[in-house]
Amino acid sequence: MRAVEFIALVLFGLSVLIILALVVRRSALARASRRRTALAGQLRPTALELVSGDRADSVAGLHGPEAEVFAELVGGYARRVTGDARQRIAGFFETSGAVDDQLKRLGSRRAWRRASAAFALGDMCSLRAAPELVRALDDRARDVRLAASRSLGRLGALEAIEPLIDAALSRRVPHDVAGLALLDLGPAAVPRLVELTANAEPAVRSKAVELVGLLGNAGDARPVLERMRDPAAAVRAASADALGRLGAGEGRDALVRALDDRVPAVRAAAARALGRTGGRRAAEALLPVARADAFEPGRAAAAALARIDPALVLQAASEADAGPHLREAADLARL
């Protein structure tokens, strides 16, 4: 009995010690958080001076926690600014040695350190990091590859266009992650993407065309228009969608012709695109497709027609040969 009581007392004592340790740790973390918050408030004006171009002399004298908090502030601003401000931020991180430190961490044996470094480099605005981040797209750890993709987009590293597309197609990086990184590159990526629309690989051509449609403008429609005759159906479908986004009137004839494509997915993409470009000729071409085509192109054509001319859809839906897609589109148009 005494042994049981002794064990119970020991366990009780251990429980008290654990609780006390947790309380002390929580208190220490709270104090550290308050100190960092106070430091952030003190250093924010200096960080703003750096970003705006009026660099304070006190920046060079920061060390320890002050330097860490200051770097966090400047890195946060890097996500909101463009142009010369980004160049100043890059200069700060390069001269402070932070870029070199994070590049060294990219070679760490620990995956979490590599991922942390890859992520941090994206907020340092220094293109010096781009080659190493491109190599990190082949890292054995998924988190490192994801962080590298994000940072390459943040840096606007145009040399990463093909590696990012390849990483997405090989599934080393999820399509949505690589896609967001490529979109972050912005319109500056369009000339290289236009070149890739003629790549030997259909998957690369398809992705390049898709991105031209998202990042380009009506003046970039010509190379996309050429891909409407591509031997690969996926490229033709991507080209049709891209022409719809670019809004180039010169693509309307090619989209109308694509309504007769042998592949339903291409016909559906052409119908969606014509819904964006609009026009009487588009409406006339869409009507028979909406009446009688297969499910995917028929439904897309009916929806596109409702977008162009709702009155025509309501009229056509009342006819005996309307079909389910026109009737569905008419019901939605009445809502």
The domain segmentation of the chain, as residue ranges, is 44-50+65-185
69, 40 in Cβ contact below 8 A? yes
Q: What is the dihedral of CA 248, 254, 260, 263, to 10 degrees?
A: -80
The pLDDT value given to residue 6: 67
pLDDT greater than 60 at residue 58: no
How many other β-carbons are positioned within 10 Å of the β-carbon of residue 263? 15
Which of the listed ranges 10-14, 22-26, 50-54, 140-144 does the model predict with the highest average pLDDT? 140-144
Separation CA 211–CA 158 (nearest Å) = 13
- What value does the mean pLDDT of the chain take? 87
Q: In Å, how far from its chain's centre is CA 245?
A: 17
What average pLDDT does range 11-27 have in this prediction?
A: 75
pLDDT at 88 over 70: yes
Helix (H) or strand (E) holding 106: none
Contacts 24+ apart (CB under 8 A), 85-88: 85/51, 85/52, 85/53, 86/125, 87/125, 88/50, 88/51, 88/53, 88/55
- Note the pLDDT of residue 69: 72
* Angle made by CA atoms 224, 226, 229, in degrees to the nearest 5: 115
pLDDT digits (tens, 9 = 90+) for 258-286: 999 999 999 999 999 999 988 889 999 99
What is the per-residue pLDDT across 153-205, written as a single tens digit (0 to 9) for each? 999 999 999 999 999 999 999 999 999 999 999 999 999 999 999 999 999 99
- The pLDDT value recorded for residue 28 is 65
Burial of 247 (C-beta count, 10 Å sphere; 0-12/13-18/19+) = middle
- In angstroms, rounded to a whole number, what is the distance separating the alpha carbons of residues 313 and 307? 9
Q: Which of 8-12, 88-92, 229-233 has the lowest mean pLDDT?
A: 8-12
* pLDDT at position 231: 96
Residue 176 is predicted with a pLDDT of 93
Q: Is the dihedral of CA 296, 203, 180, 173 positive or negative?
A: positive
Q: If you average pLDDT over residues 112-134, what whole number do you get? A: 94
Q: What is the mean pLDDT of residues 114-126?
A: 92
Q: What's the pLDDT at 1?
A: 58
CATH architecture for residues 44-50+65-185: Alpha Horseshoe (1.25)
The Cα–Cα gap between 89 and 123 comes to 9
Tell whether the model's pLDDT for residue 241 goes beyond 80: yes
Q: Quick one: average pLDDT of 68-82? A: 76
Answer whether residue 56 shows pLDDT above 60: no
145 pLDDT tier (thresholds 50, 70, 90): very high
Most confidently predicted of 48-57, 82-91, 168-177, 317-326: 168-177
Length, in residues, of the chain: 335
pLDDT of residue 229: 95
The structure's pTM equals: 0.80
